[in-house]
Amino acid sequence: MALAKLVGLATFAVAVANAQVTGTYPATPLASKTGYTYPTGIPYKVDTDTGLIRGQQAGYNQCNSTTENQDSLCQTSFINGIDDFCLWAPIEPNSVVGNVEGEMVAWCTKPGRGTRLIPDGALQGVQFMKTPDYVQVVGFIDQEKINMQPDDYGGEMDPHGADLRGNPMGGIIFSQGFNGQWTQVVEWHNFMGGNAFCLKACDPSKPDDKHYCEHRLDRIGCAYNAPNAARNGTFESCDGDNQDFPGVYTVNGAVMTYSQPPEALGPITTMPYTARVPASSNCVQHTSAVIYTALPGATGSASSSGGSSSRPTGSATGSAAGASNTSNSGTKVSVGIGMASLISMITALLV
């Protein structure tokens, strides 16, 4: 192919991409898209924006028996108890969370809702906690079985993101854990990585849901956003007290607020405090084989070790369950043009 045509083709591709991107922010932020009801009051896609820098929603939100398989692109998630919760994880194997956080799909412990299922043996220790203001699940996982690179220290998913479209884009969560009725969760966060995870869903009827489910401390992981006493090899459900708001701590009677430094300053190597682990009560231990009875066998490459023996933390050095910054990279652009049309135009250019 002549050099002139190669240059022309490259210029054309850039022009097409640039012509289709008309903005960054949606007309309505994901966290403001409320009022959905499960199971019948959900649109096919929550995010219908076009022409924005991150492209279109990767999956869909109307999920049922026709979408339930290990290739499901369901982006409607759930958290109800130790035997009934979902995590956000990648579509394709061997993925890095920071590269695909906007496209994550629901991987769940319970069939019947049109999602992928977490493979048998992936969960290696889980603690479910119900508090006055939120429900939370924390644990250890062989993350390679849910399409994450085994050495990926991950990142945070939440309904905000730098462009307000959320991570994943269009991802929504429902729970029966607040009042027994299906309720759309407005504020939530899910840290994945380092073979550990934490997911907190805050009660939208309470005034402090946005504080308990803080979304700005994405580099310091579960230890500070969801302090816990989960143990590898143990499966238990508990009642618990509320934690302190993430980033808020007390020193000598003085209430302090931590400010996360910009990522440009490098790794976070020290923290000025240790987050208080809230008290728990009425804990009931479970056998994983009894509570997870319908999970499929794992496929793909050999599994990883499944993490450390201590509780999921997310270290202050930027490692484990959400230390990676989840601000939008701005590098992925969906040009919004049909493949057949694009091929036709490229062919015309080359003739």
pLDDT tens across 255-301, in order? 999 999 999 999 999 999 999 999 999 999 999 999 999 999 976 43
DSSP assigned state of 296: P
Task: Quote the number of domains for the chain.
Answer: 2
Q: Could you tell me if 117 and 294 are in contact, meaning their C-beta atoms sit under 8 angstroms apart?
A: yes
- Same domain? 65 vs 5: no
- Same domain? 78 vs 140: yes
Q: pLDDT tens, 4-31?
A: 444 444 443 444 445 489 999 999 999 9
Q: Could you tell me if 328 and 218 are in contact, meaning their C-beta atoms sit under 8 angstroms apart?
A: no
Q: What is the pLDDT of residue 3?
A: 44
CB atoms under 10 Å from CB of 63, counted, come to 22
In DSSP notation, 156-225 reads EEBS--TTSSTBTTT-EEEESTTTSS-EEESSEEEEEETTEEEEEEE-TTSTTHHHHT--S-TTSHHHHH
**pTM > 0.85:** no
Residue 286 lies inside a defined structural domain of this protein? yes
Question: How many angstroms from the chain centroid is the CA of residue 7?
Answer: 40
- Same domain? 126 vs 8: no
Residue 164 neighbours by CB under 8 Å, 6+ apart: 25, 26, 29, 30, 31
Q: What is the pLDDT of residue 311?
A: 52
Residue 260 lies inside a defined structural domain of this protein? yes
For residue 236, the SS3 value is strand
- Same domain? 13 vs 34: no
Structure tokens at 141: 């996982």
Cα torsion for 327, 99, 246, 278, to the nearest 10°? 170
Residue 191 lies inside a defined structural domain of this protein? yes
Residue 339 lies inside a defined structural domain of this protein? no
- Same domain? 256 vs 326: yes
- Same domain? 17 vs 48: no
- Same domain? 72 vs 16: no
- Same domain? 5 vs 40: no
Residue 202 lies inside a defined structural domain of this protein? yes
- Same domain? 245 vs 311: yes
Domain range for 350: 1-21+345-351
Q: Mean pLDDT for each consecutive 10-residue tract of the chain (351 residues)? A: 44 48 96 98 98 97 98 98 98 98 98 98 98 98 98 97 97 98 98 98 98 97 98 98 98 97 95 98 97 85 37 43 34 27 35 39
- Same domain? 55 vs 137: yes
Cis before residue 227, ω within 30 degrees of 0? no
CB atoms under 10 Å from CB of 35, counted, come to 7
Residue 288 lies inside a defined structural domain of this protein? yes
Q: Could you tell me if 212 and 225 are in contact, meaning their C-beta atoms sit under 8 angstroms apart?
A: no
Q: What is the pLDDT of residue 321?
A: 62
Torsion sign across C-alpha atoms 201, 278, 287, 143: positive
Instruction: Give residue 166's region: left, alpha or beta (phi > 0; psi -120 to 50).
Output: left
| Nearest one of 309, 104, 264 to 189, comparing CA atoms | 104
- Same domain? 5 vs 34: no
Residue 340 lies inside a defined structural domain of this protein? no
Structure tokens at 77: 């998630």
- Same domain? 50 vs 11: no
Residue 91 lies inside a defined structural domain of this protein? yes
